[in-house]
Structures are given as structure tokens and as C-alpha cells.
A and B are shown apart, each in its own frame.
Chain A
Amino acid sequence: MSIADLLWRVPSVQMAWRNLGRNRVRTALATLGIVIGVVAIASLGIAGVALQQQATADLGDLSNEVTVTPGEDAAEEGITDEQVATIRTIASGSTVVPEKTNVTAIESRNGREVQVRVTGVTRASALYGLASGDAPDRLRSGALLSNTTATNLGLERGDPIEYDSRLYRIEGLITSTEGFGSATGGRLVVPVSAMNDQQYYDSVTIFTDGREATALTDDLEARFNEGGDEQVDVRNFADVQQRVGSFFRTLNLALLGIGSISLVVASVAILNVMLMSTIERRGEIGVLRAVGIRRGEVLRMILTEALFLGILGGILGAAVSLGVGLVLFHLLTDDPLLVFQWRSAQYVVYGFGFAVLASGLSGLYPAWKAATNRPVDALRG
């Protein structure tokens, strides 16, 4: 015997189902209210998660990154070799990548010209993700070029590229969006020796090794910028990320709040519908009580009716919300199936749970009123 058959044998369930069937329009409208409430809660919650995931994906994983650039009161036009050496001792164990930057135009064989940022680094592998080829730990005579620029110019791996009247061989292609800094524009990565005419480094990137980026930032500040003297500018993205995170938590709460209001409205509608229908059926319920149906049995019957509205609306609402979520995730993160991860799917569960809870609560008063009405009074008219 199936669960449905078993349920059907529960008199309250059977009676409730039939009572709801008596006024289909009213039942449908009450259910619609719940559907809207559930969809509001669930899809706003899912939207929050999708937005947050899109934003974090854009930010990349920057929590272990610290950048040092020349400060306002810097003695030289950049970061000196001596300063780099100090950074290396302070950040021992971490990967320290000093870079020099410049801007140049590169020309393809067919005469097209593209402006790119040139970066001279020692350790390219720490900074760049590669679409193809490999980034040797230390660049000597090779170069890396951003993927998009290579496509634009019709260049491929192994082709020669000229910078400052010297030729380099393209050893790898850099994926176009990687982290914060390299999000826009083309980029050419050459050995740091290629930029020997620039005496100082423009920036030093440190990839901390287990150590807190904020702690390292404090150490560097203390060492270089003693007494408010801004020799270097030290930045990490930990607090940016933290702020982004807390912004989305607030946003999500606000969205859920808005969603909950519509579910509260929906449960008031259920309260109204149940109250109306029990008042209309006053005589009928009086007959039930007269022929010996107990108060508790009447109460359960009416409560089941309200719960049915909630469950029905909850199921429909959950289905619609998942559909909305699929679309949202498809638009924002390109992976619609992410909607089924618990982080976002939980809001569908909350919406459903809230719907059942709200309808049960709004059913309580009408059910109690119907059950405690004295049969003599009900039968008198």
C-alpha cells in the first residue's frame, strides 16, 4: 500500500481534500498567494547567492596576496633592490615577485599594432595562469603574451616578438582574466633583465605562505613606514573581501526580509480564506459535532485544510523557484546547475518550510474557532 493510500485512510486528510475541492477558485487563489511568497523568499535568496558567487569569481582568490608599491614619501622613483631584499627577509618562506612595468606597442607581421603593458618579472609562474605553453620559473629569453592579444595579432607559441630592439620567443599564452590587476588590456611578460634600463621596481607582489596577509602587511608597514613616513604602500585584499562578504550577507538578509513579507501576506490570505470557509460551513461543522465527531477531530480537519494549502503552494513555489534559480545562475555564473548546491538550494527549503509553517499557524485560529463552536449554536443558524 502506498503512502497516498495510507494518507487517504486518515479521515481528516480525506475530508480536508474534499473541502478544498468544493471551492476550487478560492483554493487556487490562496495557493497562488503562497506560491508567490515561496518564490519571493527562495528566488531572492538564490539571487543573492548567485550574485555573491559571480562577484567572488571576479575578485579571484586574493586573500593570500600582498602588493607593495612605492609610497608617497618614497626616496626613490620605485622600489629599490635593497628594499626587495628586506621584503624577502620579512616575508621569508613566501613567494616574492618584484616587477617592472612599461607600455609598448607590438606589431604583427601584417602590420597591425597593439598597445600592451610590459611586465618584467623573474617568476612569471607565480603571477600568471597559462592558457597554453608553460611559464618557466625564471624567464631568460622567452616571453609570455596574453591570449587575446596573441589572437588579435595572429601570433602563436614559438613565434618571435620584439621589445626594445631585442627578440624574445613566445613560450606561453596567459589566460585573459586572472585575478584583479590583469583583468583588462593586453600584457607582455618579459625577463626582468629586458628592462635593465629601469633601475627600480614598480611593484612587488608577495604570495604569503600560510601566513595571514594582514599580519604580513602590518610587519611590512612597521619596517618601512616608521613614524608615518610613507616609504611604501602595502595593500592586501583581505578586508576588501571581508567587506564584499558582509555586504552580500546584508543584501541577502534584506532580500529574505522582503520575501518573508510576501509570505506573511500570503498567510494572512490563508487565515482569511479559512476563516471565511469555516464561518460558511458553521452549520455543517455543527452537524459533525452533533453526530459525535470530537473537537480534536474537527480541529485536525480544518488544520489539515490549511496545511494542504501551504504544502500545495510550497511545492509549486519550490518548483518555480528552482526554475528561476536555473535561469539566474545561467545568466550570472554560466553554470545553471549551481542552483542545486546547498548554499542556494537551502532557500527553496526555507521557502517551503516557511510556507507550511505559516499556513499551519494561520489555520490554527479558524480550526480552533470551528472546533470549539457549540453544536447547538451552530445548528440554530
Chain B
Amino acid sequence: MTVIELDDVVKRYRTGAEEITALDGVDFRADRGELVTIIGPSGSGKSTLLNMIGLLDTPTAGGVRLDGREVTDFSEAELTAERRSGIGFVFQKFHLLPMLTATENVELPSMWDTGVDRRDRAVDLLERVGLGDRLDHRPSELSGGQSQRVAIARSLINEPEILLADEPTGNLDQDTGATILDELTRLKEAEEIAIVAVTHDEQLVDYADRVVRLVDGVIQ
């Protein structure tokens, strides 16, 4: 089942007098239970594409559909609500909050939800990514691989339909990267979610169900 769909999406950036076309008519879709990787040279528009999929940015032209709903013209507040309930993010640099424990970091996206206590789910998720013994550790007390697993747990706290990862293994060594990819593969099957990962890492391609190649903002 298709979770996210991009229709002939164009993204242009204007810097001074110059106009850069980062995405030039991109069609894209991802289904539940599949891991799609986006590869391409630096500056080809991979991150830009991921931002469109993640509703972090809006296209200059073209349409975006989430769960079959047109979200192209959503307001900032509506997009934020969609991100909160339906999309999980994993970043290259983990981006955990240093003053929160592992459990609190996992709870973070649901922290402002009134009347919901996600503590149990956070602990459960951390146990599932193998960090049951690190619940109260701060990010500074965790290794890179452990941090990225906390980030993955955080991305799943609100039971998203889609998980987006920009170079999730970029800051990790080969072996640690492999464990993260195993983790993602397991999750995609168990949780029935779509995973879209941007990478330079050839290793990630081996785990992918589908590979999208991007060159100069155009899918090959």
C-alpha cells in the first residue's frame, strides 16, 4: 500500500540572481514494508527530495500525497501535525538532546501530547533496539551506534507510517552501520512501515528493496 507519493515535483532555490533547480520533475512513491534507498552524487538533490517526502519543505511545483491525501497546500501547522503523527526521522548526526536520557529522547516527539504517557512504549522500543540496559543514559554516555539506535526508537514512538533517514550510517563504521541496517530491516517488516534512506553507503544498497538514482535533480 502506497504511503507517500510525489507527482512531478520541482524544487527551485533562489540565491541572489541565480536560480538552482534542485529537483526537476521527480515522481516518487514508497509502500508500506519496503526500504527504498536514494543514491546519487553530492548536490544531486537527495536531501531536498527527502525534505519533500518528510513534509519539511514544500515543492515549487508538483503534488505530494500522504496516505492518499493531498498535502501539497497544507499550512505549516498542518504539516507539523502530519510529521508528528505519521513520519519518523533519523539523521546522520543522530541529533539527540544532550540534557535528556535515552528514554526521554525517545519520548520527545510525544512529550507535548496531553494525556498520553509514552514511557512504556519508549522503554519497549529501546529494549527492541537492544538498549534495555541504557535507559537512563545521556547521549554523551552512548556510542555512535547506540545513539543512532536511540534515534531510531525515537522515530518510531508515534507509530509512523514512514521512516526517513538521511545517511543513517554516515557517522558509523562498517559493522555498526550493518547492525543499524539490520535493525531497520527488522522494523520495516515488524511495523509494516515504509523506510526511505538517503545514502552514499554502498552497503545500504544491499539492504534495499528498491534503489532510486538521482542525478542533477532528475531520477534516472
Residues of chain A whose beta carbon lies under 8 Å from any beta carbon of chain B: 11, 15, 18-19, 21-22, 283-284, 287-295, 297, 374-376, 379-380
Contacts and interface: CB of A to CB of B under 8 A. Distances in A.
Interface in B9-23: none
Contact of B85 (A11, A288, A292): A292
B97 interface: yes
Interface in B166-208: none
B1 interface: no
25 contacts: A18-B99, A19-B99, A22-B98, A283-B95, A284-B97, A287-B89, A289-B80, A290-B54, A291-B89, A291-B108, A291-B154, A291-B155, A292-B80, A292-B81, A292-B87, A293-B109, A293-B111, A293-B112, A294-B112, A295-B76, A295-B77, A297-B112, A379-B56, A379-B95, A380-B47
A291 B56 contact: no
Contacts, number: 62
B112 A376 contact: no
Interface string B66-102: 0000000000110011011101110101010111100
Contacts of A22: 98-99
Contacts of A294: 77, 80-81, 112
B109 A291 contact: yes
Contact of A290 (B56, B98, B99, B112): B56
Contacts of A291: 83-84, 88-89, 108-109, 154-155
A18 B108 CA distance: 13
A374 B111 CA distance: 21
| Shortest 5 CB-CB contacts between residues of A and residues of B | A292-B84, A291-B109, A18-B99, A287-B95, A292-B83
A108 to B, nearest CB: 81
A380 B57 CA distance: 12
Nearest to A291: B109
A18 B80 contact: no
B95 A284 contact: yes
Contacts of B91: 287, 379
Pick the most buried of B54, B77, B91, B95: most chain A CB atoms within 10 A of its CB.
Answer: B95
Contacts of B37: none
Contacts of B109: 291-293
A22 B100 CA distance: 10
B179 to A, nearest CB: 23
A13 B80 CA distance: 21
A18 B112 CA distance: 15
Nearest to A18: B99
Given A290-B56, A295-B76, A11 B95 contact: no
A281 to B, nearest CB: 9
B83 A11 contact: no
B89 A21 contact: no
A293 B109 CA distance: 7
Contact of B83 (A19, A290, A380): A290
A289 B99 CA distance: 17
Given A292-B109, A293-B84, A294-B80, 16 more contacts: A15-B111, A18-B100, A283-B95, A287-B97, A288-B108, A289-B80, A290-B54, A290-B56, A290-B83, A291-B84, A292-B87, A293-B108, A293-B111, A379-B56, A379-B91, A379-B95
B111 A11 contact: yes
Best-buried of A22, A287, A297 by chain B (most CB within 10 Å): A287
Interface centre among A21, A284, A292 (most CB of B within 10 A): A292
A347 B91 CA distance: 52
A18 B56 CA distance: 27
A376 B59 CA distance: 13
Contacts of A290: 54, 56, 83, 89
A283 B154 CA distance: 17
Contacts of B47: 380
Contacts of A19: 99
Interface string B48-65: 000100101100000000
Contacts of A292: 80-81, 83-85, 87, 109, 158
A291 B118 CA distance: 15
Contacts of B100: 18
Interface in B127-157: 154-155
Nearest to B76: A295
A379 B93 CA distance: 10
B66 to A, nearest CB: 13
Given A18-B100, A22-B98, A295 B80 contact: yes
A294 to B, nearest CB: 5
B190 to A, nearest CB: 21
B167 to A, nearest CB: 12
A275 B109 CA distance: 24
Central interface residue in A19, A294, A379, by most chain B CB within 10 Å: A379
A21 B99 contact: yes
Nearest to A301: B112
A15 B109 CA distance: 13
A375 B56 contact: yes
A219 to B, nearest CB: 75
